[in-house]
RNA sequence: GCGUCGAUGGUAGAGUGGUCAAUUACAUCAGACUGUAAAUCUGACGCCUUCGGGCUACGCAGGUUCAAAUCCUGCUCGGCGCACCA
């Protein structure tokens, strides 16, 4: 709330500066172009697209949403575009073809999306964000129209895309339909007749295709803002591959913990991309780090801030307390899962409740001394795990707790 | 269509008859340590096990062999080259 008031009190030129600099990787055709557009007083329409393939948005999406919010705060029209067309036909990109989503699933996802996104942009009140679906126009296109659209781009232009260039270098296949994806995304810009688009740096090519199409079909200069990706100086991404992907539906504890496990190099990018801190505040933090302050404490501030932006102050504070208790003081987490034994052996309970994937896995954990009765501090033996456990709290590894009663 | 090369575990990528549940790297998990669930070091990393071993896996289906990820045949899919370009 404080943050919102703060941003409401900001001067217009401050907001424009924030919009043009914070978390921004690139602005096309140029920063000056967009700046003069913003100063012209014209009401602009800007969109960002989201694929409804999963029921949740993650922290990467939030970067785009924050940027949209900057536009919204300046009184511009923002569009939250759902890429339901791709979801509906299924993305054949991977061999494990995604199943197309049904109408119903899309509706459910949409509700969840709106709810999650509403933490960052406003869907009600004055100048509310508009939701659009690209199936509305892409789903209706005739083949002749698709061909006509395709005639605006050459194969060579497509091949300039880094991903395609790499595939060719590696002798990997490129399917024709993959050429269509940038076109489809680009066509969204045309159909919505937007002034600009916001997206991750990895979406640059697709967004520029939209710029080309809009120029050719409507003689309009679309601007494109790419946001920085969340990665450290070595290029280590915070993403699915490293298992640190923060989803909007993660528990406060999980979000807090995942951020604490980020590598130190992500602290500053984290503040820039995932919080409402101003650039000068971030500067201050950067100085503190250089002075040798314990990065852990700064990271805790980041973890709190991000958790707060998703779950609010109360839950964020609790997550922080829980982290301190569990990992710094090695105490048991307050909110642990309680399971009734029901005559099952320890082994069976862990397996059935999903704490371990297989019995072999549990045996390995026991052999490594990772399973203990947290109250007596005794390490579990192989034999004990095959018996009905005593009522107690058990710890598996460093962060999994189970209370058996 | 012809020729040729290829398909391996979560990913990348070794292995070309037995010593292969499969080198290595990344990811993951655990232990130690600490500044933290960071970094670093160590270990584990298909499933089941009475810890002897058993079972299932190297695109799919068969075959050869005492023995196959490895050899043969067919199929599916892909790369490259050639042809086709109406």
Confirm whether A342 is domain-assigned: yes
From the CA of A180 to the C1' of B36: give the distance in Å: 45
**pLDDT surpassing 50 at residue A188:** yes
If asked whether residues A76 and A147 sit together in one domain, one would say: yes
Query: Do residues A201 and A316 share a domain?
Result: no
* Of A155 and A97, more confident: A155
CATH number, residue A72 = 3.40.50.620
Number of structural domains chain A divides into: 3
Task: Mark whether A342 and A268 lie in a shared domain.
Answer: no
pLDDT at A44 over 90: yes
CB proximity A328–strand B (7 Å threshold): yes
Q: How far is Cα A21 from Cα A194, in angstroms, rounded to an integer? A: 21
Domain boundary, last residue among A303, A328, A353: A328
Strand B closer than 7 A to residue A397 Cβ? yes
Q: Which of residues 143-202 of A touch strand B (CB under 7 A)?
A: 168, 170-174
Q: What is the mean pLDDT of residues A353-378?
A: 91
A321 pLDDT higher than 50 = yes
Compare A99 and A240 and report the one with higher pLDDT: A99
Give the model's pLDDT for residue A222: 94
- The CATH number of whichever domain residue A396 belongs to comes to 3.10.290.10
Do A29 and A119 belong together in one domain?
yes
- Tell me which residue range forms the domain holding A295: 240-328
Look at residues A227, A257, A276 and tell me which one is the last residue of a structural domain: A227
For residues A115 and A222, membership in a common domain is answered with: yes
- A334 band by pLDDT with thresholds 50, 70 and 90: low
Taking the CA of residue A243 and the C1' sugar atom of nucleotide B27, their distance in angstroms comes to 8
Structure tokens at A295: 């990065």
Structure tokens that stand for A115 in this block: 């709810």
- Residue A357: which nucleotide is closest by CA–C1'? B47
Q: Percentage of residues in chain A with pLDDT exceeding 90? A: 40
pLDDT at position A90 over 60:
no
Q: Do A298 and A164 belong together in one domain?
A: no
Both A348 and A323 in one domain: the answer is no
Residue of A67, A79, A40, A312 lying closest to A192 (CA atoms):
A79
CATH number of the CATH domain containing A277: 1.10.240.10
Whether residue A235 lies inside any domain: the answer is no
Reported as a single tens digit per residue, the pLDDT across A201-254 is 888 888 999 999 999 999 999 999 999 887 755 555 554 344 567 888 888 988
Please state whether A112 falls in left (phi above 0), alpha (psi between -120 and 50) or beta.
alpha
**Is residue A45 over pLDDT 70?**
yes
Distance A159 CA to B72 C1' (A): 41
Calculate the angstrom distance between C1' of B41 and CA of A290: 27
Q: Are residues A192 and A310 in the same domain?
A: no
| Closest CA relative to residue A263, chosen from A280, A281, A243 | A243
Residue A92 (CA) to nucleotide B64 (C1'), in angstroms, measures 39
Last residue of a domain, one of A328, A360, A380: A328
| Integer Cα distance of A20 and A27 in angstroms | 8
What distance in Å separates the CA atoms of residue A49 and residue A358, rounded to the nearest whole number?
40
């Amino acid at each position: 709330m404080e943050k919102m008031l703060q941003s409401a009190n900001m001067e217009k030129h401050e907001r424009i500066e924030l919009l043009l600099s914070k978390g921004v990787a690139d602005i096309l055709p140029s920063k000056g172009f967009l700046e003069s557009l913003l100063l012209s007083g014209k009401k602009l329409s800007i969109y960002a697209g989201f694929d409804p393939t999963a029921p949740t948005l993650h922290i990467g999406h939030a970067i785009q949403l924050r940027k949209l919010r900057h536009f919204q705060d300046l009184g511009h029209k923002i569009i939250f575009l759902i890429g339901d067309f791709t979801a509906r036909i299924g993305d054949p990109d991977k061999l494990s073809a995604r199943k197309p989503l049904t109408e119903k699933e899309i509706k459910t996802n949409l509700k969840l999306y709106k709810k999650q996104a509403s933490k960052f942009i406003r869907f009600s009140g004055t100048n509310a964000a508009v939701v659009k679906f690209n199936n509305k126009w892409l789903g209706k296109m005739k083949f002749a129209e698709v061909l006509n659209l395709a005639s605006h781009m050459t194969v060579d232009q497509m091949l300039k895309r880094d991903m395609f260039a790499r595939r060719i270098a590696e002798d990997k296949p490129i399917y024709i339909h993959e050429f269509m994806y940038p076109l489809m995304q680009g066509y969204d810009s045309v159909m919505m007749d937007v002034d600009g688009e916001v997206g991750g740096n990895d979406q640059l090519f697709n967004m520029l295709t939209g710029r080309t199409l809009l120029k050719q079909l409507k003689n309009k200069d679309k601007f494109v803002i790419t946001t920085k990706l969340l990665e450290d100086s070595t290029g280590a991404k915070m993403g699915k591959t490293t298992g640190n992907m923060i989803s909007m539906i993660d528990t406060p504890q999980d979000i807090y913990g995942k951020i604490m496990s980020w590598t130190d190099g992500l602290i500053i990018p984290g503040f820039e991309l995932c919080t409402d801190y101003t650039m000068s505040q971030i500067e201050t933090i950067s100085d503190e780090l250089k002075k040798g302050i314990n990065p852990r404490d700064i990271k805790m501030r980041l973890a709190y801030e991000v958790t707060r932006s998703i779950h609010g102050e109360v839950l964020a504070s609790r997550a922080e307390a829980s982290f301190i208790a569990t990992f710094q003081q090695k105490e048991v987490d307050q909110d642990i899962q309680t399971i009734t034994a029901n005559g099952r052996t320890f082994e069976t309970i862990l397996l059935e409740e999903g704490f371990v994937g297989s019995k072999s896995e549990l045996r390995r954990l026991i052999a490594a001394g990772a399973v203990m009765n947290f109250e007596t501090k005794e390490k579990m033996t192989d034999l004990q795990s095959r018996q009905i456990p005593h009522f107690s709290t058990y710890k598996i590894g460093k962060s999994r707790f189970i209370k058996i009663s």
